[in-house]
Amino acid sequence: MDIRIDRKSEIPIRQQLAEHVVYLIATEKLKPGEALPSVRTLARQLGIHHNTVSQAYKDLVSRTWLVGRRGSRVVVRAPGKADGKTQGRGGSFAGDRGGLDDLDDLINATIRAARRQGHSLQALRERVQKRLLAEPPDHILVVEDEPGLRHLLAEEIREAIGEPVEGCALADLAAHPGLAIGALTVAGQFLIGDVDPLVPKNIPAIPLAYAAADEHLETIKKLVPPSVIAVVSVSPVFLKTARGLLAPALGRKHEVLEFAFPLKDAKAVQAADLVFADSVARPRIKHRRILQHRLIAPASLDYVRTAMMSYKSR
C-alpha cells in the first residue's frame, strides 16, 4: 500500500495517514472489501508508533470508509455492507425549468379525464410512475452526503456534459425514491452499492472514479523557496483530504492554509505563493499561480456522457 508520511510536517501523522487512505479508496487504488495491513505491520512499514496507526484506522471506521471486525483486520467498506448512517439534505443544482403552471394544468386535466373514465387515483399514480420509470433520463442526479462535495461533483458534470444536474444525499434518495425518476444517477464508487438498489433497474447508477493528484504533488515538490500554499474549496471533505495528501510534498519547508469557498477574505488568498483550488473555486479566484484539481477522472466523465447519449437515442 503506497502511503507517504512526512514526520517533519506540521500536519499530524495520524491525519496524514487517514487522508492518504481516503485518497487511495476514492481513486480506487484500494478496492471495496480489500483488507488493510495490520496495525503493527503498517506501523513497522512507515516507521511510526502502532497507536498512531490504530487511531487513524478508528477514525476511518467512524467515518465509514473502513469496517472493523473484532479479531480481524480492517477492510475497505463494501458498499451496502456497513451500518454507516447517511447525513445531509438533498439540494437541487438545476435552475428553474419554468412552465410549472402549464404542467400543473396538464396534470389536473389528466386527473379529471382519468376520473371520468372510472380510474382511481391510486391506479393513475401507479401507471404514471411505471411510465416515468420507463422513460429515458433527461437529467443527471448526483448522490453524495456532503453538500460541498455534491455541489462540486454537480458543477464538474454540468460543465463537461452540458446536461441538467440535480443532487441529493443518500438518505433523501432512500426516503424519496421518486428523486431517481427521469435521472441517470451517479455516485462515488464507494457509495454505488448503496445507491444502485434505490434507482430504476433499467437505468442503473454509474460509479464516479476520482482523479489522482500526482501531477500537482510533483509541482509542489519542485518549489524551491519556502512557500505558502492556499487550498480553496467549497467542500470541507476536499479541504481535509487535500491537507493530508499534500503533507509529504510540503514537509517543513512549505506551509498550507485552508480556505472555504466563497472566501471571506480574498486578500488572504492573494498573499499565498500558490493556490490549489477545486473546479468551483478556480474560475472565481484571481491569482498569479493556481493549480486546479478536477475531482472526477476524465474517463469517468466520458462514460457518463456516453451513457446519457445512449439512453437518449433509444
List per-residue pLDDT tens for the chain, 314 residues long: 889 888 888 889 999 999 999 889 888 889 888 999 999 999 999 999 999 999 999 999 988 899 987 667 899 987 655 444 433 333 333 333 345 567 777 777 788 788 888 888 888 877 776 766 667 899 999 999 999 999 999 999 999 999 999 999 999 999 998 899 889 999 998 899 999 999 988 899 999 999 988 898 899 888 989 999 999 999 999 999 998 888 888 878 889 999 999 999 888 899 999 999 999 999 999 999 999 999 999 999 999 999 999 888 87
Q: Is the pTM of this model over 0.75?
A: no
- Quote the CA–CA distance of 87 and 104 in Å, as a whole number: 32
Cα-based distances in Å from 167 to 49, 140, 190? 41, 8, 17
On whether both 120 and 67 belong to a single domain, the answer is no
Q: How many domains does the structure of the chain reveal? A: 3
On whether both 114 and 195 belong to a single domain, the answer is yes
In this prediction, residue 239 carries a pLDDT of 94
On whether both 132 and 268 belong to a single domain, the answer is no
Residue from 261, 276, 268 nearest 229 by CA: 276
Q: Are 235 and 152 in contact (CB under 8 A)?
A: yes
In this prediction, residue 159 carries a pLDDT of 95
In this prediction, residue 312 carries a pLDDT of 81
Is 34 among the domain residues? Answer: yes
On whether both 223 and 199 belong to a single domain, the answer is no
On whether both 114 and 200 belong to a single domain, the answer is yes
On whether both 49 and 181 belong to a single domain, the answer is no
In this prediction, residue 5 carries a pLDDT of 87
In terms of residue numbers, what domain contains 233?
Answer: 212-293
On whether both 174 and 307 belong to a single domain, the answer is yes
For strands 139-143 and 165-168, give the pairing: parallel
On whether both 169 and 218 belong to a single domain, the answer is no
Backbone angles phi, psi at 291, to 5 degrees: -105, 120
- Quote the CA–CA distance of 54 and 49 in Å, as a whole number: 9
Of 55, 84, 113, the domain-final residue? 84
Residue from 303, 87, 301, 94 nearest 182 by CA: 94
On whether both 178 and 305 belong to a single domain, the answer is yes
Q: Are 15 and 242 in contact (CB under 8 A)?
A: no
On whether both 31 and 126 belong to a single domain, the answer is no
In this prediction, residue 280 carries a pLDDT of 95
Is 28 among the domain residues? Answer: yes
Is 95 among the domain residues? Answer: no
Is 106 among the domain residues? Answer: yes
Contacts of 191 (CB under 8 A, 6+ apart): 79, 143, 144, 170
On whether both 272 and 197 belong to a single domain, the answer is no
- Quote the CA–CA distance of 154 and 302 in Å, as a whole number: 15
On whether both 166 and 286 belong to a single domain, the answer is no
In this prediction, residue 134 carries a pLDDT of 67
Q: Are 22 and 266 in contact (CB under 8 A)?
A: no
Is 227 among the domain residues? Answer: yes
Is 91 among the domain residues? Answer: no
Is 90 among the domain residues? Answer: no
The three three-digit cell numbers of residue 298, written as one number: 476524465
Is 259 among the domain residues? Answer: yes
Mapped onto helix, strand or coil, the DSSP state of residue 102 is helix
For strands 183-188 and 274-277, give the pairing: unpaired
